[in-house]
C-alpha cells in the first residue's frame, strides 16, 4: 500500500512539474512571482525558459518512469533529484527580499522527493504469483 501511495504522489509531483515548467514557458512573469525571485531584465526571459525546460523535462521523466513501471529508476531519480529543489531553495533564501514563504515550495519538493524516493527504493515489489 505504501508503494502505491508513493507512486501516486510521485505521479502527481511529475504532473505538477509539467505544470510549473509549462507556466515558465508560457507565462514567465506569473511563474517568476510564484517562484520567489525577481529576475526579468527588460523583457529577457532566458532564465524563465531555462527553468521551464528543466522542470518540464523533470516532470515528463517522472511520469514516463511511472507509466513504464520503472519504479527503481523512479526512486533513484527522486532521491538524486532532490539536489534541484535544495539548490533552488538556497538561491531563493539567498535573496534578502525572500523568506520562508518563498522557500516552502522547494522545502515541500525536498521532503516529497527524498521521502517517497527512499520508500520506493526500500520497498521491494512482490514477485508475481504463479
Task: Please state the domain extents for the chain.
Answer: 2-122
6 burial class (0-12, 13-18, 19+ CB within 10 angstroms)? buried
pTM above 0.85, yes or no: no
- Reported as a single tens digit per residue, the pLDDT across 87-98 is 989 988 888 877
pLDDT band at 102 (very low <50, low <70, confident <90, very high): confident
- Reported as a single tens digit per residue, the pLDDT across 11-53 is 999 999 999 999 999 998 888 877 766 776 677 888 889 989 9
- pLDDT averaged over the chain? 88
- Reported as a single tens digit per residue, the pLDDT across 48-67 is 899 899 999 999 999 999 99
Amino acid at each position: 500500500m505504501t508503494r502505491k501511495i508513493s507512486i501516486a504522489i510521485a505521479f502527481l509531483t511529475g504532473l505538477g512539474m509539467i505544470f510549473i515548467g509549462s507556466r515558465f514557458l508560457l507565462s514567465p512573469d506569473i511563474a517568476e512571482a510564484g517562484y520567489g525571485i525577481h529576475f526579468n531584465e527588460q523583457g529577457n526571459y532566458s532564465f524563465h525558459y531555462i527553468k521551464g525546460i528543466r522542470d518540464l523535462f523533470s516532470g515528463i521523466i517522472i511520469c514516463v518512469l511511472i507509466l513504464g513501471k520503472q519504479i527503481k529508476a523512479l526512486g533513484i531519480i527522486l532521491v538524486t533529484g532532490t539536489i534541484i529543489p535544495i539548490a533552488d531553495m538556497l538561491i531563493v533564501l539567498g535573496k534578502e527580499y525572500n523568506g520562508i514563504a518563498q522557500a516552502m515550495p522547494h522545502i515541500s519538493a525536498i521532503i516529497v522527493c527524498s521521502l517517497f524516493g527512499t520508500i520506493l527504493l526500500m520497498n521491494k515489489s512482490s514477485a508475481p504469483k504463479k
